[in-house]
């Protein structure tokens, strides 16, 4: 059995994870506790019970993802930092999937938000501003953009909205970004400033 | 579809702050390990990677994952210290 080498260089990690046989087995053996700890530390404050068991369930997936995606490692950080980032993302994807699995998109789009995200302490300037923004949304945005925006602003994570809209997180971010830019352009075209639209309560 | 004043407020604020050269979640994620290491080392990660910093300010999902990664790295750093260093740190 090859000796433990948790302090491989980045190149050594990449070479061993791309190999087969004993070198690969040793790399996975040495990486496993690193990813398991990352999963446990991420899950423990966010799961009522069974964080350790869930971490054990996910660590194999994490190792597979690290191996499959090793080509995406940019090399400007430690490989183990990058690998732990993959594990953290996997943990959050699972948490969000479980939290939202029984919530259809319609429910989030139709209902007012229960916990709006923290933002500046401002409200809409007046009823006219509210009516104007609603009209601009109807005129400028596609139905898909409106739906996605409302769902995200109502608290549904991007990954979960993307899953329900048969797309991926990146494509959804671009859809939302385009929507925000369209609205900004529409505000500017009408000479509307933040003061016209938002009331800072001063 | 219900767009309450609260939701509209958030939307308007985000729209007004939007820029053409924003980073996507994927682009931010690709640089998050470097950003985290720089932050942990006390270097000005926001100055070196301003688009990552801006994305994290506007994207709660990515922000949450970044903060979790920082916590993971701090725990790893602590556990990687020799036992006598950990003892001294506890007594301090």
Taking only the tens place, the pLDDT of each residue in B8-35 is 777 888 888 898 989 999 999 999 999 9
The answer on pLDDT for B3 being more than 70 is no
CA dihedral (B1, B5, B8, B9) in degrees, to 10, reads -160
- Which residues contact residue A142 at a Cβ distance below 8 angstroms, ignoring those fewer than 6 apart? none
Domain A105-199 has CATH 1.10.10: yes
Residue with tokens 């997180």: A169
Beta-carbon contacts below 8 Å between A and B: 145
DSSP A178: H
Q: Which of residues 27-86 of B touch A (CB under 8 A)?
A: 29-34, 36-37, 59-61, 64-65, 68-69, 71-73, 75-76, 79
| pLDDT confidence of residue B64 | 96
| pLDDT confidence of residue A148 | 92
Q: Which residues of A touch B29 (CB under 8 A)?
A: 85, 89
Q: Kindly report the pTM of this predicted structure.
A: 0.85
CA distance A43 to chain B (A): 10
CA A13 – CA A24 distance, rounded (Å): 9
Q: Do A37 and B12 touch (CB under 8 A)?
A: no
Residue spans of the domains in chain A: they are: 10-100, 105-199
Q: Which residues of B touch A146 (CB under 8 A)?
A: 1
Of the candidates B47, B25, B23, the residue with the CA atom closest to the CA atom of residue B35: B47
* pLDDT digit string (tens) for chain A, length 202 residues: 677 777 899 999 999 999 999 999 999 999 999 999 999 999 999 998 899 999 999 999 999 999 999 999 999 999 999 999 999 999 999 999 999 999 999 888 874 444 444 444 455 566 777 788 888 888 999 999 989 988 988 889 999 999 999 999 989 999 999 999 999 999 889 888 777 777 655 4
Domain A10-100 has CATH 1.10.1740.10: yes
Q: Which residues of B touch A72 (CB under 8 A)?
A: 30
CA A73 – CA A57 distance, rounded (Å): 24
CA distance A199 to chain B (A): 9
What string of DSSP letters covers B27-42? Answer: HHHHHHHHHHHHHHTT
- C-alpha distances in Å from residue A170, one per residue of A63, B23, B25: 23, 10, 6
| pLDDT confidence of residue A132 | 84
The token pair at B17 is: 């702050």
| Candidate from B11, B20, B79 with C-beta closest to A153 | B11
Of the candidates A30, A31, A161, A42, the residue with the CA atom closest to the CA atom of residue A83: A31
Residue spans of the domains in chain B: they are: 24-91
Pick from B72, B74, B78 the residue to mutate for testing the A interface (most A CBs within 10 Å). B72
Pick from A30, A173, A196 the residue to mutate for testing the B interface (most B CBs within 10 Å). A173
Taking only the tens place, the pLDDT of each residue in B39-84 is 999 999 988 899 999 999 988 899 999 999 999 999 999 888 766 6
A21 in helix, strand or coil?
A: coil
- C-alpha distances in Å from residue B66, one per residue of A66, B29, B49, B59: 18, 9, 14, 11
Q: Do B24 and A177 touch (CB under 8 A)?
A: yes
Asked if residues B66 and B56 have their Cβ atoms less than 8 Å apart, the reply is: yes
CA B46 – CA A28 distance, rounded (Å): 33
| pLDDT confidence of residue A83 | 98
């Amino acid at each position: 059995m090859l000796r433990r080498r948790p302090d491989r260089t980045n190149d050594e990690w990449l070479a061993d994870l791309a190999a087969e046989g004993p070198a690969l087995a040793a790399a996975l053996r040495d990486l496993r506790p690193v990813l398991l700890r990352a999963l446990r530390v991420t899950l423990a404050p966010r799961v009522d019970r069974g964080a350790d068991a869930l971490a054990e369930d996910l660590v194999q997936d994490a190792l597979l993802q690290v191996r499959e995606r090793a080509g995406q490692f940019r090399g400007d950080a430690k490989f183990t930092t990058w690998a732990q980032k993959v594990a953290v993302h996997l943990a959050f994807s699972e948490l969000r999937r479980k939290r939202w699995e029984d919530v259809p998109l319609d429910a989030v789009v139709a209902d007012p938000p229960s916990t709006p995200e923290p933002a500046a302490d401002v409200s809409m300037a007046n009823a006219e501003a509210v009516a104007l923004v609603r009209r601009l949304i109807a005129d400028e945005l596609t139905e898909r953009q409106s739906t996605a925006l409302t769902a995200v602003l109502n608290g549904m994570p991007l990954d979960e909205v993307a899953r329900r809209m048969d797309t991926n997180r990146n494509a959804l971010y671009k859809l939302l970004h385009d929507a925000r830019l369209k609205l900004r352009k529409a505000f500017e075209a009408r000479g509307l400033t933040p003061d016209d639209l938002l009331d800072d309560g001063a | 579809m219900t767009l309450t004043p609260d939701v509209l407020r958030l939307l308007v604020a985000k729209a007004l702050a939007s820029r053409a050269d924003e980073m996507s979640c994927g682009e931010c994620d690709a640089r998050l390990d470097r950003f985290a290491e720089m932050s942990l080392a006390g270097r000005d990660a926001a100055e070196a990677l301003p688009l990552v910093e801006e994305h994290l300010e506007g994207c709660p999902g990515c922000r949450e994952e970044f903060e979790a990664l920082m916590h993971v790295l701090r725990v790893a750093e602590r556990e990687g210290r020799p036992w006598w260093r950990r003892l001294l740190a506890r007594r301090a």
